[in-house]
Amino acid sequence: MNGLEVLMNKGFELGVKEGYEEGIEKGIEKGIEKGIEKGIEKGIEKGIEKGIAKGLEQGIRPGTIYLFQQGLEVKEIAKIQHVPEALIEKIIHEFEKHGSA
């Protein structure tokens, strides 16, 4: 092997090594970036879902308790309030347990 071939081989090795390292760095960087983006996106989504659920529950609570006190059944209250029976049951359970909603 002559000197030029040795230099070319060395240059190739260094180029591959640097390219590999840079690729890993960029990959990690991009992965972290995407992970953070997805995490924020998911957090906002979950926050909105919880906010809507809480708002819905707070909004229907007084009417649910009133209807329950009037003697209506869970199924009837759910139909009037246009919400799942499970939510009505939860509100009534809290009301019975704590005396207020």
> What's the pLDDT score for residue 2?
80
Render pLDDT for 4-38 as a digit per residue (tens, 0 to 9): 788 888 888 888 888 888 899 999 999 999 999 99
Assess whether pLDDT exceeds 80 at residue 1: no
Write b or e for each residue in 5-20: b if 16 or more Cβ atoms lie within 10 A of its Cβ, otherwise e. Answer: eeeeeeeeeeeeeeee
> What's the pLDDT score for residue 45?
92
- Structural domain boundaries, residue 37: 3-98
Render pLDDT for 23-81 as a digit per residue (tens, 0 to 9): 999 999 999 999 999 999 999 999 998 988 888 888 888 999 999 999 999 999 999 98
> What's the pLDDT score for residue 3?
81
Question: For the chain, what is the domain count?
Answer: 1
pTM for the model: 0.48
Rounded to whole angstroms, the Cα distance separating 12 from 20 reads 12
